[in-house]
Structure 1
Amino acid sequence: MKEDLPPQCLIVDDNRVARLMLRQFLEKIAVVQIAGECEDAISARKVLQEKPVDILFLDIEMPGMSGLELLKVLPEKPLTILTTAKQGYAVEAFELNVVDYLVKPFSFSRLILAVERAVELLRGKDTQLSQISPDFLFIKERKVIRKLDLNDILWMEAKGDYARVHVPGKSYIIHSSLRLLEERLPSPRFIRVHRSYIIALDKIDYIEDMVVHIHDVAIPVSESYRDQLLQNLHLL
């Protein structure tokens, strides 16, 4: 996404009425620009090869190639919001790191939430992890290099190719995998408790039924990380 330009989006759906309704909704939101429409995934693939977009609104069940099949063959995937009449594809969809999964008929307010999430992730593309020292890390947020004190970090969570870093009253989305953060953050000060979560050990309020609670937020502990967490708690 070029700075100061609205995100470009592509609508892909074999149903003409569904495309029209989505277009009308998006025109009301006005924070994105509609770059085009396609009535099937095969056509969409050709369009994306010639003219990449920022956000893809994608139906799943279409003739010739499904929306999920399209995502699997795209070398560079736009941020994708799935729009489908079926709920049964949700697990497979989120394994492909889609931004959101909207079940038709969805409301205007529900679409707004999905678009806001995608736009926030797009902004995160311009937020890079710069450096981590024993006491702080730097993140580059567009033209601003921001210093984050490690003592302020509560937890981090995976968001596809991004990570959300939570501090009191605020969070930052950075273009870094959770794996990279885990490698670079001091251990055991920060510990992985789930494939999607790293927590600050000293920020734990309590643990109940292997769910960590930090600032009234419940964070699951997966079985594979349970023993490591317990070892680092130094229980009496």
Structure 2
Amino acid sequence: MNCLIVDDNKMARTAMNQLASHVAHLHIAGECSSAMEAYNLLQEEKIDLLLLDIEMPGMSGLELTRNLGKKRPVIIFTTVNKDYAVEAFELNVADYLIKPVSPARFIQAIEKAREILDSNSGELQVSETEFVFIRDNGVLKRIRTEEILFMEAMGDYVKLYTAQKFHAIHTTLKALEEKLSPSRFMRVHRSYIVALDKIEIIEDGNIIIQKNAIPVADTYKAALNNKLNLL
């Protein structure tokens, strides 16, 4: 697994190098002191994994990740700042390490990266978001997208339903629609988004998901039929 260390702090790069030197099959292909330097190198060389700092002069690690798009290496953020965790995981990175990093925690992150590489043949599919963070009573909670049944717009809030309960989130359906995978979720009404794999029955213009009836607007019916591969 070819790895690139990106950090503006030389001591931090040295520390990552030392951790990586004890992990079998992890090869350090190079080091970069800026995100722009890393961006240029990635255009020329095949890198499987980025150990990427977030706060750097010029372009940040978050900005680099966005600029790399869907075809990018697996990314593990390495930072001293916990404040970027939600934003980082929304970018579907493999892990988020707080410096200084212990050897055990480093190995755990590398194994996550290895699993992603094995399952995606070396490409991280950014659109297939596995989880979302929501703010519930002032606390950030992570919800796996496979747990979501459907979402309902309620004024300035969206009610996100799982099998156990619903969460009221101060956001819009449009914002959620942009973050979730279109292969798994679809808007079927101006007030509803459903998880396609949770649909049980469609009858009388309604989708039934665990006894909940969700209306399907006429403007979405043709697109829904195409998504469901009707025979």
TM bin (shorter chain): 0.5 to 0.7
**Alpha-carbon deviations, 1:25-82, whole Å to 9, x = none?**
1110123111100011111111111113000000011111111111111143210000
Match of 1:11 among 5, 8, 12: 5
Match of 1:197 among 146, 167, 174: 146
CA contact (8 A) 1:124 1:162 kept: no
Q: Which amino acid aligns with 2:146?
A: Y
Match of 1:36 among 27, 30, 37: 30
Partner of residue 229, structure 2? none
Structure 1, unmatched stretches of 5+, are 1-6, 128-158, 165-193, 200-209, 214-219
Distance of aligned partners of 1:195 and 1:222 in 2 relative to their CA distance in 1, 3 Å threshold: farther
Q: Which amino acid aligns with 1:196?
A: T
Aligned residues: 154
CA contact (8 A) 2:129 2:145 kept: no
Match of 1:61 among 40, 55, 63: 55
Task: State the alpha-carbon separation in 2 of the partners of residues 222 and 228 from structure 1.
Answer: 20
CA drift of 1:225 comes to 5.5
CA drift of 1:163 comes to 8.4
**Alpha-carbon deviations, 1:103-138, whole Å to 9, x = none?**
1112110111100000011000249xxxxxxxxxxx
CA contact (8 A) 2:35 2:64 kept: yes
Partner of residue 4, structure 1? none
Distance of aligned partners of 1:163 and 1:85 in 2 relative to their CA distance in 1, 3 Å threshold: closer
CA drift of 1:196 comes to 1.1
Partner of residue 115, structure 1? 110
Q: Which amino acid aligns with 2:63?
A: E
Partner of residue 155, structure 2? none
Partner of residue 171, structure 1? none
Task: State the alpha-carbon separation in 2 of the partners of residues 116 and 160 from structure 1.
Answer: 19
Partner of residue 87, structure 2? 92
Partner of residue 222, structure 2? none
CA contact (8 A) 2:147 2:163 kept: no
Partner of residue 204, structure 2? none
**Percentage identity across aligned positions?**
43
Partner of residue 233, structure 1? 210
Secondary structure of 1:28's partner? coil
| Structure 1 residues 181-196: aligned runs within 5 Å | 196=145
Secondary structure of 2:21's partner? helix
TM-score by length of 2: 0.57
CA contact (8 A) 1:54 1:79 kept: yes
Task: State the alpha-carbon separation in 2 of the partners of residues 117 and 64 from structure 1.
Answer: 29
Structure 2, unmatched stretches of 5+, are 131-142, 149-160, 169-192, 201-206, 213-231
Task: State the alpha-carbon separation in 1 of the partners of residues 59 and 24 from structure 2.
Answer: 30
Partner of residue 100, structure 2? 105
Moved over 4 A (4+): 159-164, 210-213, 220-231
Are residues 1:49 and 2:43 paired? yes
Partner of residue 72, structure 1? 66
Task: State the alpha-carbon separation in 2 of the partners of residues 124 and 222 from structure 1.
Answer: 31
